Chain A
Amino acid sequence: MSFLDIDKATKSYGAVRVLNETDISVEEGEFLVLVGPSGCGKSTLLNMIAGLEGVSSGEIRIRDRRMNDIKPADRNIAMVFQSYALYPNMTVRSNISFGMEMHGVRKAKREEKIAEIAELLQLTPFLDRKPGQLSGGQRQRVAMGRALTRDPDVFLFDEPLSNLDAKLRVDMRTEIKKLHQKLGTTIVYVTHDQIEALTLSTRIAVMFGGEVQQLGTPQEIYDNPTNMFVAGFMGSPAMNLLPATLRDAEGGVAVELALPDSSYISLPFPRGATLSGQDGRAIVLGIRPEAMTDPESADAESPAIHQAELSIDVIEPAGSDTYVTVSLCGKDAIGRFRANTSARAGARFPFSFDMAKAVAFDPETEQRID
């Protein structure tokens, strides 16, 4: 029994299944992020937890209480919407107080709570303004303030930062994380932004096609993606997914990567030890850009650094790093070099492959095989 149990929750619209038998258990105080591309079912799942959409089959329980047929207002949840959904005809004060008023909280108590929340979110100077007179970040804070009045069991966030500009988004992200650390409330947070997912969460559920592809801590998801979808979706730039061939080698397994001039480079693959004896098998090798770097930047702790010289196609300086594109196995592979690298486009340059970080997928099933 966890704090919030999603038990085989399914949502269908007629014959279309948008969410398929999803199981997630959330412990009290966790920050769970549901991440995935548009139409993956993440917002539907959030709305089902909120009670704004019905559950076709399965169960949603909070504190062991079955929620399926309980009205949104009686679930003791609070929700922050993507558009903030502030009532435009009411002042900030009334916006924050509306929910308490609906729940029959006495006026004196309401005033007290409003003052407390305004203090917490630095909204005191704006209490008598209308939402139309506030900036995006202030509206966002009012929306959170409104949610805070309830002392909810679970906070639900529906892409709360996607309407903000890039700078403000980063600031508010930190604000939300601080708030979580201060209040310790359980949070379920929906986003399509994998950076938000990695930075905010204690656990991530990566969703696609109405199914949870992988559920785990940010580190697990990043280092050990269970399939090619998760590998490609999480991380920026995305993990390089290279069609390669397994080779049995002395003392273990190696992978063979094709170069544009139809020669090969062969790299030892320590994680693929379980795949020995499958010489010649086609696999997809997943390797993150930071595991394909210049020799000076290579992880000195890693037990499996291997160098190979490759011809560079494109150099993209990005300030803190330089992204280097090479042609490998018929694909564009991206490596992350340090900012002041001497690598130049068109020249050959030694690459350090951190093969301890590489993973292997089956090209047919797209699942992890190592």
Chain B
Amino acid sequence: MSIASSTHRIARFALYGVLALFCLYYLMPLYVMVVNSLKPLSEITSGGMIALPKEWTVAPWRNAWSEAQVGVEATGMRPYFINSFLMVIPAVAIATILGALNGYVLTKWTFKGSTILFGFLLFGCFIPFQIVLIPMARALGMMGLAGTVPGLIFVHVVYGISFSTLYFRNYYAAFPTELVRAAQIDGAGFFTIFFRILLPNSGPIAVVCVIWLFTNIWNDFLFGASFSDFNSQPMTVALNNLVQSSTGVQEYNVHFAGAIIAALPTLLVYIVAGRFFVRGLMSGSVKG
């Protein structure tokens, strides 16, 4: 074996070694969460955070899901989990459809001032959440939506439109205008063209948009904490309440299980649609 190839092998080895080390480093928190959610509390308090459980149990998961004291009653996280879904699904659907419509109009039915309008819409991407808290609370109150799930949906749709419009506008800018013209000559109207021609060809960008909105809205804590009451709190707020409860013993194993439950849906969305994510991001931004 020549010297060149042996030094090459050593370099390779070192490289993979470092990568493996980083991999371990990044996976460590997940490992700690999973392991500790599966052991009795006594094992954690006796100082074995890293060790595998001596006695395996799913009790902390059951506890977090349906028995833990989160709100006034010991309901576990289940009702809040449902709240989150009731909020996320309509919010994502509405923001995506509106974004697609905006993108369609801003690229294929341009009017005087459409570029400026798009600029203002984009501006929404850069407004920090904190700034709108008080005006939004007032607006929700006036609409009679304060402290309700529809109120939260409204807030998230308003914030989501900026991003979904950005995605779809850039995607549709590269969409051949001749197709729209051909459909016009074929006799299709504004909405027919949108639903029959553009939307069916928007797969990649729709996936990007849905992942982005789903993750953001699911993970949102600030709006959830500010604009909900006991019956409409989303998952993130419930998790906070679970962990922050000051009465009794800190049940770390239950906290770990709850945190994993809270993170599972976004994780699933990434695993299922993730490979479209990068592809869609590229197709939206590069061609646009």
Give A52 to B187 CA distance when docked, in angstroms.
12
| A–B pairs, 14, beta carbons within 8 Å | A52-B184, A72-B184, A73-B185, A73-B187, A79-B182, A81-B182, A82-B178, A83-B176, A83-B178, A87-B179, A89-B200, A98-B183, A102-B188, A102-B192
Which residues of A have CB within 8 Å of B179? 85, 87
- Is B181 a contact partner of A98 (Cβ separation < 8 A)? no
A167 interfacial by beta-carbon distance below 8 Å: no
Complex Cα distance, B185 from A146, in Å, reads 11
In the complex, which residue of chain A has the Cβ closest to the Cβ of B192?
A102
Highest count of chain A CB atoms <10 Å: which of B178, B181, B182, B187? B182
A136 CB-CB contact with B under 8 Å:
no
Q: Flag if B181 contacts A73 (CB, 8 Å).
A: no
Q: Which of A81, A89, A99, A103 contacts B181 (CB 8 A)?
A: A81
Give the CA-CA distance A64 to B230 in the complex, in Å.
71
Any chain A CB within 8 A of the CB of B264?
no
Q: Within 8 Å of chain B (Cβ to Cβ): is A88?
A: yes
Proximity string of chain B (10-35) to chain A, C-beta cutoff 8 Å, 1 when within and 0 when not:
00000000000000000000000000
Chain B hits for A71, CB < 8 A: 184
Docked pose: A50 CA to B201 CA in angstroms? 25
What mask results when residues 116 to 152 of chain B are scored 1 for a CB within 8 Å of chain A, else 0?
A: 0000000000000000000000000000000000000
Residues of B within 8 A of A79 (CB): 181-182, 185
Chain B: minimal CB distance from A70 (Å):
12
What is the interface of chain B, defined by CB distance below 8 A to chain A? 176, 178-179, 181-188, 192, 196-197, 200-201
- Encode contact with B along A17-58: 1 for CB under 8 Å, 0 otherwise: 000000000000000000000000000000000111000000
Complex contacts, B184 vs chain A, CB 8 Å: 52, 71-73
Instruction: Tell me whether B192 and A52 are in contact (CB under 8 A).
Output: no
Residue in chain B with minimal CB distance to A82: B178
The interface residues of chain A lying within 8 Å CB-to-CB of B201 are: 88-89
**A89 to B197 CA separation, bound complex (whole angstroms):** 8
**Which of A72, A85, A89 lies in contact with B178, CB distance below 8 A?**
A85
In the bound complex, residues from chain B placing their C-beta under 8 Å from that of A98 are 183, 186, 188, 196
Cβ B176 vs Cβ A87 within 8 A: no
Residues of A close to B197: CB separation below 8 A: 87, 89
A99 lies within 8 A of B187 (CB): yes
A73 neighbours in B (Cβ, 8 Å)? 184-188
Question: Are A50 and B185 in contact, with the CB atoms below 8 A?
Answer: yes
Q: How far is the CA of A98 from the CA of B192 in the complex (A)?
A: 11
Tell me the complex Cα distance, A256–B197, Å. 64
A78 at the interface (CB under 8 A from B): yes
**Does A103 contact B182, Cβ atoms closer than 8 Å?**
no
Q: Are A99 and B186 in contact (CB under 8 A)?
A: yes
